Chain A
Amino acid sequence: MINSKLKKDIILKAENISKQYRLGQVGTGTIAHDLNRWWHHVRGKENPYLKIGDVNDRSTKGNSDYVWALQDINFEVERGEVLGIIGKNGAGKSTLLKILSKVTAPTSGSIKSRGRIASLLEVGTGFNGEMTGRENIYLNGAILGMTKKEITSKLEEIIEFSGCERYIDTPVKRYSSGMTVRLAFAVAAFLEPEILVVDEVLAVGDAEFQKKAIGKMQDISREDGRTVLFVSHNMAAVQSLCTRGIVLQNGIVKFEGVTEEAIQFYLKQSADRFAIREITDRKGTGLVQLSNVSVFGTTREVLPQSGNKFVIEFEFDNPKNIDSDRMKFDFRIDDYAGQRIVWLSTTVVKQGIKGRGKVIRFEIEKLNLNKGTYYVTTHLVVDEELSDWIQNVFSFDVAEGDYYGTGKQVSPSQSKILMDYNIVFV
């Protein structure tokens, strides 16, 4: 394919994409809003709720019930490009992909495309446990937009790529989760859309399969000249696959450019600070309550990275100025699947200088959590009485780092925890 150098071959163009969500629950308030909106519509006026709405920032308490998950997103993608879309949890990546894959409509703006878009938002969509692997290949393929004929012509390749030949006529409910992912990815990998949208697929599966999957995606873009939009937390995958990157922050495109620079920009975003005050789902007397949490790496401006310094800072509302001596605070870190990883507490290590019980900071010199998303549950006791206990109060991401100083990575599916060790041959 010969592209003229003067004119770029734009295959996808996003123009002023914005997306608004309503927060809170649907109830009588919604009916009132619906009626009001309808009344404005009848009189030919603009939707009154489009004007209000806060920037999408989870950590601050918003003033309105409406929030902009995306605001004025503009970008262009050239044919054959692999565009990485990166950003922290809740930055709007998934919303953008949902709009691109037509799952939800933008509130305003438009996307223009010169090719068929197929999405791979979390693999295995529409898999039915009762049906066999083979039947699911057909069902899943059809859901993704293939015709039966197309699937039949690629069936052998799909089965081979998935590595599930032996179980292909077994119901999928007997598959391990790894096998399901492999089968699902195999179906999607043999889709032939001009634009492929991929979200987080590579988070699961073993290292060998991830390699295979990355290779397949490279083939798709390099050899077939097809375009890929790739969303991932896996910076290594972004780096090796993407030709260009976009960094989303609070629903706004903050950076657009070369992959390398986009990743650097992403890692240097200001630390996560979570406002905890408005969380109501908590137990305890409330004498002292968690108010804010900050999570950061080597400095406040750097995100946590495996192998680097890691700080997690808890701030408390302590109106009675209770001394830190009377407080026992602990928290637990779980992985994305709810598996308990580690428990840290003020009761098990020697404490530093006594404070006024307003801020507790845990400092870890060399973070030995592997890359991934983690959830935190906090637990505070004052004078032997439960004061504040919040389950899954917030989540944070650990980015890939050079833990071993060798540049080598261990897949999180093999190892959630990293540790230093010596090897001796005897």
Chain B
Amino acid sequence: MKNKMNNNNVSNDWLFEITPKNKFFSLNLKEVWQYRDLLFLFVKRDVITVYKQTVLGPLWYLIQPLFTSITFTIIFNNVAGISTGSIPPFLFNLAGITVWNYFTACLNGTSDTFKANAAIFGKVYFPRIITPLSVVISNLIKFGIQFLIFIAFYVFYYLQGANLTLNLSVLFFPVLIAVMGILGLGLGMLISSMVTKYRDFSNLLTFGIQLLMYLSAVMYPMELIKDKLPKFGWLVEYNPLAYIIQTSRYMLLNIGEISVLGLIYTFAFTVAIFLIGVLIFNKTEKSFIDTV
């Protein structure tokens, strides 16, 4: 403790100071690193407890995407007649849904960070960002399991003789997933901060996510909307999620096309949302306990 005595400014030898305002922007990376074990333990807790007292347990991870894909295949491909080219429609939908699920899981899980953790946050200090980070990571595990199912069906269809080819860009698929996680995290932090004061946002989120799915090219190729609804095509074109879904299908199934401009836009959008999210989140964590 005394090693700081050579400091010429006496008031500087305080270890830290608690003041009304935070620094304008701080990621607190050093602090997050100090608490890395907590991050790991939160992930472990989420994984252990999520399906306790259910009969099917982790099977729920698989049931949801499979049934959604079946439903989509029946409605959008068989009834509405959307064409997926040479790719089996079920595989097309499964790819979209698996990727989309990761985004919604991140967004949903992080968007009630403050509300759901009010009891802990009200008693102990730790870098609050640990909580949404742990959600994004534990969902990554869930995504991994769901992705295995996708691979299983891919192999199945391949053996059935479907025309499936690999695209080398699949090597960048993890980057795409990371971008998606960061986007979900940023948006979730933004919403969770606003929910602490105005609960309206949590209502907005519930149906907002549903509407967003229709605008994100999950169950149709992006080109389709431009052809059929040229007037509303911009809704999809300005949606960064649509590019992520589209690109992931390009990587996994070698279908559709990649828009470099769209991807640059998506990266920029993600970085911006993430920075704004961190900013607002930091501001909220100082005082939310008084308003939650």
B120 touching A143, Cβ below 8 Å: yes
- Residues A276-333 near B (CB distance < 8 A): none
A106 touching B19, Cβ below 8 Å: yes
Residues of A within 8 A of B289 (CB): 98, 103-104
Q: Does B175 contact A (CB under 8 A)?
A: no
Stretch of A144-152, A254-262, A413-421 with 4 or more beta carbons under 8 angstroms from chain B: A144-152
Q: Does A335 contact B (CB under 8 A)?
A: no
Q: Mark B17-42, 1 if CB is under 8 A from A, else 0.
A: 11111100000000000110110111
B126 touching A143, Cβ below 8 Å: yes
A22 touching B290, Cβ below 8 Å: yes
Q: Does A116 contact B (CB under 8 A)?
A: yes
A112 touching B38, Cβ below 8 Å: no
A376 and B173 CA atoms in complex are apart in Å by: 63
A101 touching B124, Cβ below 8 Å: yes
Q: Does A126 contact B (CB under 8 A)?
A: yes
Residues of B within 8 A of A21 (CB): 290
Q: Does B1 contact A (CB under 8 A)?
A: yes
Residues of B within 8 A of A128 (CB): 45, 49
Q: Does B261 contact A (CB under 8 A)?
A: no
Query: Provided the pairs A106-B20, A114-B15 are in contact, do residues A131 and B45 lie with their beta carbons within 8 angstroms?
Result: yes
Q: Does A204 contact B (CB under 8 A)?
A: no
Q: Does A360 contact B (CB under 8 A)?
A: no
A234 and B90 CA atoms in complex are apart in Å by: 67
B16 touching A131, Cβ below 8 Å: no
B197 touching A30, Cβ below 8 Å: yes
Query: Provided the pairs A102-B125, A106-B18 are in contact, do residues A26 and B198 lie with their beta carbons within 8 angstroms?
Result: yes
Query: Provided the pairs A98-B289, A119-B125, A143-B126 are in contact, do residues A114 and B14 lie with their beta carbons within 8 angstroms?
Result: yes
A103 touching B291, Cβ below 8 Å: no
Select B124's contact among A105, A115, A119, beta carbons within 8 Å.
Answer: A119
Most buried by A among B119, B123, B286: B123
CB distance from B22 to the nearest CB of A (A): 8
Query: Provided the pairs A139-B45, A145-B126 are in contact, do residues A99 and B18 lie with their beta carbons within 8 angstroms?
Result: yes
Query: Provided the pairs A125-B123, A125-B124 are in contact, do residues A114 and B1 lie with their beta carbons within 8 angstroms?
Result: yes
Select B49's contact among A108, A131, A138, beta carbons within 8 Å.
Answer: A131
Residues of A within 8 A of B49 (CB): 128, 130-131
Nearest CB in chain A to that of B287: its residue: A105
Residues of B within 8 A of A170 (CB): none
Q: Does B13 contact A (CB under 8 A)?
A: yes
Q: Does B121 contact A (CB under 8 A)?
A: yes
Q: Mark A22-49, 1 if CB is under 8 A from B, else 0.
A: 1000100011001000000000000000
A285 and B13 CA atoms in complex are apart in Å by: 64
Chain B contacts to A: CB under 8 angstroms: 1, 13-22, 34-35, 37-38, 40-42, 44-45, 48-49, 52, 119-126, 197-198, 286-287, 289-291
Closest 9 CB pairs of A and B: A102-B125, A142-B38, A111-B18, A105-B286, A148-B37, A121-B123, A112-B14, A130-B49, A125-B123
